[in-house]
Amino acid sequence: MRLFIAIEIPRGVREQVAALQQQLNHPFNKIRWVQSESIHITLKFLGETKPELIPELKQAIKGALPFVPFKMSLQQLGVFPDLHFPQVVWCGIHEGGGLLKNLVERIESIAESLGFEEEKRSFHPHLTLGRVKFLKEKNWFIQKITGTRFATEEFEVDHFNLFQSELGEAGAKYSILETYPPI
């Protein structure tokens, strides 16, 4: 089973993000945009996991609790790894980034204790908007990324989820396996 831990984004914010994706879309550029209903903030990608490990994993993740509910908002656009070779289009976390980072560190530690691979890259709080496949109008795209001002309404993070991702021809389908409230 392909698993990850993430924060769901409220519908109103997902709608704001979908409108932003439309602004960044150009008919000559090929970007695989994340579908509105699938937009989330990944805390830890676990990857392929044996089904028999899932009960232990669900219980262990509770070790990241309690966490205090916190406010978050999205702001700023960017790309990974950089503007010269954009591969991932993202929106940054404006408010709540420090608390989010703390939660990620606790989850990372728990995942490592269960044998999951350590994330080598430093955590950069963001939401993935899309993956760049080809940019025929690269200058247009760079101007849009650097020139677009974007900020969402504030929302409360009061839980996170363990998700299963099933890959299909229409893209990934996500199912919630467990929800973790801030107990």
Residue ranges covered by each domain of the chain: 2-180
Concerning whether 84 is annotated as a catalytic residue, the answer is: no
CA angle centred on 25, ends 35 and 8, rounded to 5°: 25
pLDDT value of residue 60: 93
Cα 148 to Cα 33, 85, 168, distances in angstroms: 17, 19, 33
Marked catalytic residue, from 94, 124, 126, 159: 126
Marked catalytic residue, from 40, 84, 94, 159: 40
Q: Give which of 115, 33, 128, 116 is closest to 77, Cα–Cα.
A: 128
pLDDT value of residue 122: 87
Q: What are phi and psi of 67, to 5 degrees?
A: -130, 150
CA angle centred on 90, ends 1 and 4, rounded to 5°: 15
In the chain, what are the helix, strand and coil shares in percent, each to the nearest 5? 30, 40, 30
For the entire predicted model, the pTM comes to 0.91
Concerning whether 40 is annotated as a catalytic residue, the answer is: yes
Average pLDDT over residues 52-66: 90
| CATH number for domain 2-180, candidates 3.30.420.40, 3.40.30.10, 3.90.1140.10, 1.10.150.120 | 3.90.1140.10
Q: Which residue in this structure is represented by tokens 């939660």?
A: 103
Q: pLDDT at residue 42 above 90?
A: yes
Q: What percent of the chain has pLDDT over 70?
A: 100
Integer Cα distance of 165 and 121 in angstroms: 22
